[in-house]
């Protein structure tokens, strides 16, 4: 489907009732939802799409924002209002959209989410090491680092996580310089007036855990779900918990 100056891949399961839109993390594409998709589509109309440069979506060639692309997806499918469920990068996008267009968001499901404006989310040493490996063209080293960092709850060879993470690398590099920063959202989380649930993985990085705790404390009425054996890929690690969280959230949204 068309977005401003580009295209994204999107899929609509069809169905009736309040639609559910799934936004993938920056370390995977829309296939990350495969473990939970059958249970969700059995009860809901589910729309998935892949951000520019990830999976089946072409790399960007013009500047864009993730929230604007989300708006275009909703417009394309004729959705005036939807439940948004975003993982990591997808969570950050969902929050930004909910703050800018609150009337279009019925509820927020946040899985190990990021957020703009939180001061200590980025790890400078990790960022530097990722940059070093990328410049050296060491994709095996980059994958090993990513598995240790973002997929700590898995057991080697952790084939599915490794496949998704490796396949996300082109998106990391193709979007550089095109994906424009969004306005700070952390200090505005108190403005969110809608059913919200946040899943926190105890095996995620300490910075993400601390950020998610602070986010849940700031969002009014947020339901915080802490999962001991979960890292940055909750749909792979605890799919039943994710389905339960999303189902309960949709029920709250009516």
Spans of all domains in the chain: 2-253
122-153: per-residue pLDDT in tens?
Answer: 999 999 999 999 999 999 999 999 999 999 99
Residue that the structure tokens 């496949």 belong to:
163
Res 254: pLDDT? 81
pTM equals: 0.98
Task: Give the confidence band of 54 by pLDDT, cuts at 50, 70, 90.
Answer: very high
The answer to whether 205 touches 147, Cβ cutoff 8 Å, is: no
Instruction: Return the half-sphere exposure (C-beta side, CA atoms, 13 A cut-off) of residue 35.
Output: 17
Residue 216: closest CA among 238, 201, 236, 234? 201
186-239: per-residue pLDDT in tens?
Answer: 999 999 999 999 999 999 999 999 999 999 999 999 999 999 999 999 999 999
Task: Give the confidence band of 16 by pLDDT, cuts at 50, 70, 90.
Answer: confident
Residue 182 has pLDDT above 90, yes or no: yes
Largest CA-CA distance found in the chain, in angstroms, rounded: 51
C-alpha distances in Å from residue 113, one per residue of 47, 96, 233: 19, 12, 11
Please enumerate in sequence order all residues whose Cβ is within 8 A of that of 131, keeping only pairs 6 or more positions apart, or say none.
Answer: none
Res 52: pLDDT? 98
Indicate the class that CATH gives domain 2-253: alpha beta
CB atoms within 10 A of CB 254: 9
């Amino acid at each position: 489907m068309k977005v401003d100056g580009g295209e994204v891949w999107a899929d609509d399961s069809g169905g009736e009732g309040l639609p559910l839109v799934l936004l993938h993390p920056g370390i995977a594409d829309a296939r990350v939802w495969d473990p939970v998709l059958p249970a969700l589509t059995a009860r809901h109309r589910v729309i998935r799409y892949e951000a520019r440069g990830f999976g089946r979506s072409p790399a960007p060639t013009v500047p864009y924002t993730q929230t604007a692309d989300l708006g275009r997806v909703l417009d394309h499918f004729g959705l005036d209002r939807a439940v948004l469920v975003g993982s990591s990068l997808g969570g950050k996008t969902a929050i930004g959209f909910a703050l800018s267009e609150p009337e279009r968001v019925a509820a927020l499901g946040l899985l190990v989410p990021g957020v703009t404006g939180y001061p200590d989310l980025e790890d400078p040493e990790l960022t530097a090491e990722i940059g070093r490996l990328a410049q050296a063209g060491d994709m095996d080293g980059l994958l090993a680092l990513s598995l240790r960092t973002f997929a700590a709850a898995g057991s080697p060879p952790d084939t599915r996580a490794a496949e998704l993470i490796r396949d996300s690398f082109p998106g990391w590099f193709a979007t550089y310089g095109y994906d424009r920063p969004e306005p700070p959202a952390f200090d505005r989380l108190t403005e969110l007036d809608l059913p919200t649930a946040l899943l926190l993985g105890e095996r995620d990085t300490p910075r993400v855990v601390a950020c998610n705790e602070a986010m849940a404390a700031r969002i009014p009425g947020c339901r915080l779900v802490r999962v001991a054996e979960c890292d940055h890929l909750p749909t792979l690690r605890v799919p039943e918990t994710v389905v339960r969280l999303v189902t309960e959230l949709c029920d709250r949204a009516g």
